[in-house]
């Protein structure tokens, strides 16, 4: 049975966790394959809200296997806290979770680096990271000499390697402004991480072998993307991106499962757009409407609590990411938020230096200069939170979904009208 992927089509926070949670009952395995504690997946089950960072959203469905693949960067302290919070809420975690021994580990020096870079960068140039050490950990992964994979935490030379890397980091970072290297103590870090490693030991194994066996045995596998395609390190709004391949192209590299097993890709987008942190955002609203969307949509970061920047749906950007991530269908989220607006705009093209363009520019300098060309769509101004089928939606909301599908070039298969599992409309 081939695999399915759920991928964000904007700058993250598209409510992918809700869609994964809804689908998991039909799957045997749910896989996270990139990102780390920077991700914040909110899943609402009944009157309970769960906020997940590393743990795949499948954990809330009994009987589903949850895999954290080699492409994820794991912060063991955060992960253990997450596991404990779930256990405290009677969510069983044990043999239903497997952490790749190839996944890289976030250490305190990564957080020191992330903070130092953040504090030393001028406003317009600041990526505005989540300060979780994500970029520095991926940098060390590529650099190789100072990296630790989960499996390394169990090896005889772990203590000696921590001492060597702390020495090297202190030397390298001593020239950096705002790098608080004095807090790095090799013995203390080794003791702390040795403790984490022991607590995580039951979960750590060869997830690549497990997943290859799973797909070859016909198991149903669901890949859960973190962040969104526009934050992809190669294909997003570089350098204002995250450190991993967060578009559909990252699934195989981050999991070890070849593309030939992937049969369906669901692209998740909000009915408007949000972005956290720095970087260009052509349809951003700096007015009352932007603030209204933020309040109505409770647009504050799950991981950092930062207010999200809000704006209109950008069909140029989403058409690009829909193609890049190879999506089959769109899941359009937060339709209920737009119910409150008398008039809705959708960006259908950009004006770049007087030329109308339909492609998403590859350089941020061009993206900063584009002026969105909007189409105005009348709002439906009617509560949709109780809608169960497409027929329950006001004609205006149906027209909006149809126009988005047309502009993006893919059908809208799912429309979400509220945070609950039941507030989801299957359009087909």
Interface residues toward ligand IMP, by CB under 6 A: 11-13, 38-40, 127-130, 132, 134-135, 226-227, 231, 242-243, 276-277
Q: Write the DSSP string, 82-118.
A: HHHHHHHTT---STTEEEETTSEE--HHHHHHHHHHH
In the complex, least distance from residue 121 CB atom to ligand IMP, rounded to whole angstroms: 12
In the complex, least distance from residue 224 CB atom to ligand IMP, rounded to whole angstroms: 12
Residue closer to ligand IMP (CB basis): 299 or 336: 299
In the complex, least distance from residue 236 CB atom to ligand IMP, rounded to whole angstroms: 9
Tokens 């007087």, residue? 354
Residue closer to ligand IMP (CB basis): 41 or 403: 41
Which residues, at least 6 apart from 374, have a Cβ–Cβ distance to it below 8 Å? 312, 345, 346, 347, 348
Give the SS3 label for residue 293.
Answer: helix
Residue closer to ligand IMP (CB basis): 227 or 321: 227
Which residues, at least 6 apart from 131, have a Cβ–Cβ distance to it below 8 Å? 111, 114, 115, 118, 304
**Cα 410 from Cα 362, distance rounded (Å):** 22
Residue closer to ligand IMP (CB basis): 131 or 405: 131
In the complex, least distance from residue 351 CB atom to ligand IMP, rounded to whole angstroms: 25
Enumerate the β-bridge partners of residue 372: 350
Residue closer to ligand IMP (CB basis): 42 or 339: 42
**Cα 325 from Cα 393, distance rounded (Å):** 29
In the complex, least distance from residue 186 CB atom to ligand IMP, rounded to whole angstroms: 25
Residue closer to ligand IMP (CB basis): 69 or 243: 243
405 CB burial (10 A radius; 0-12, 13-18, 19+): middle
The distance of Cα 413 from the centroid of its chain, to the nearest Å, equals: 21
Active site residue 146: no
Please pick, among 21, 41, 104, 232, the residue that the annotation labels catalytic. 41
In the complex, least distance from residue 9 CB atom to ligand IMP, rounded to whole angstroms: 13
Tokens 């022991």, residue? 198
In the complex, least distance from residue 289 CB atom to ligand IMP, rounded to whole angstroms: 21
The distance of Cα 32 from the centroid of its chain, to the nearest Å, equals: 10
Residue closer to ligand IMP (CB basis): 197 or 250: 250
Active site residue 287: no
Determine contact, residues 222/214, Cβ cutoff 8 Å.
no
Find, among 30, 190, 17, the residue nearest to 105 by Cα: 190
Please pick, among 13, 21, 232, 314, the residue that the annotation labels catalytic. 13
Give the SS3 label for residue 425.
Answer: strand
**Cα 20 from Cα 32, distance rounded (Å):** 11
* 7, 114, 123, 231, 295 from 277: Cα distances, Å: 20, 14, 11, 11, 18
**Cα 247 from Cα 12, distance rounded (Å):** 10
Task: Report how far apart the first and last C-alpha atoms of the chain are (Å, whole number).
Answer: 22
Residue nearest to ligand IMP (CB): 277
The distance of Cα 94 from the centroid of its chain, to the nearest Å, equals: 24
Residue closer to ligand IMP (CB basis): 281 or 360: 281
**Cα 57 from Cα 53, distance rounded (Å):** 9
In the complex, least distance from residue 378 CB atom to ligand IMP, rounded to whole angstroms: 30
List active site positions: 13, 41
């Amino acid at each position: 049975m081939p695999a399915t992927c759920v991928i964000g089509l904007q700058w993250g926070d598209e409510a992918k966790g809700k869609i994964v949670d809804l689908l998991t009952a039909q799957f045997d395995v749910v896989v996270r394959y990139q990102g780390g504690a920077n991700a914040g997946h909110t899943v609402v089950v009944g009157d309970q809200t769960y906020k997940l960072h590393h743990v795949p959203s499948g954990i809330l469905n009994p009987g589903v296997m949850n895999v954290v693949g080699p492409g994820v960067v794991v912060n063991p302290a955060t992960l253990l806290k997450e596991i404990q919070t779930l256990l405290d809420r009677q969510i069983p975690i044990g043999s239903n979770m497997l952490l790749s021994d190839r996944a890289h580990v976030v250490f305190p020096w990564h957080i020191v680096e992330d903070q130092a870079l953040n504090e030393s960068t001028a406003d317009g140039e600041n990526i505005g990271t989540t300060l979780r050490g994500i970029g520095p950990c991926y940098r060390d992964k590529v650099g190789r000499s100072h990296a630790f994979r989960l499996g390394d935490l169990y090896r005889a030379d772990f203590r000696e390697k921590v001492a060597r890397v702390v020495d090297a980091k202190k030397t390298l970072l001593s020239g950096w402004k705002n790098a608080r290297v004095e807090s790095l103590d090799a013995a203390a870090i080794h003791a702390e991480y040795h403790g984490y490693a022991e607590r995580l030991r039951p979960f750590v194994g060869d997830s690549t072998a497990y997943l290859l066996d799973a797909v070859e045995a016909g198991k149903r596998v669901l890949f859960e993307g973190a962040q969104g395609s526009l934050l992809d390190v190669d294909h997003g709004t570089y350098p204002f991106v995250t450190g991993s391949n967060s578009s559909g192209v990252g699934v195989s590299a981050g999991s070890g499962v070849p593309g030939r097993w992937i049969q369906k890709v669901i692209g998740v987008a909000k009915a408007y757009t949000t972005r956290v942190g720095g970087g260009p955002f052509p349809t951003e609203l700096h007015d009352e409407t932007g603030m209204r969307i933020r309040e109505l949509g409770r647009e504050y970061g799950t991981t950092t609590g930062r207010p999200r920047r809000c704006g209109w749906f950008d069909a140029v950007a989403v058409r690009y990411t829909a193609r890049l991530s190879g999506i089959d269908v769109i899941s359009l989220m937060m339709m209920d938020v737009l119910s409150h607006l008398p008039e809705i705009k959708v960006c259908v093209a950009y004006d770049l230096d007087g030329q109308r363009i339909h492609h998403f520019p590859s350089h941020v300098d061009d993206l900063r200069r584009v002026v969105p060309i909007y189409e105005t769509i009348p709002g439906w101004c009617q509560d949709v939170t109780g809608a169960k089928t497409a027929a329950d939606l006001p004609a205006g909301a149906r027209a909006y979904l149809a126009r988005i599908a047309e502009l993006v070039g893919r059908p809208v298969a799912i429309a979400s009208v509220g945070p609950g599992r039941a507030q989801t409309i299957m359009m087909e």
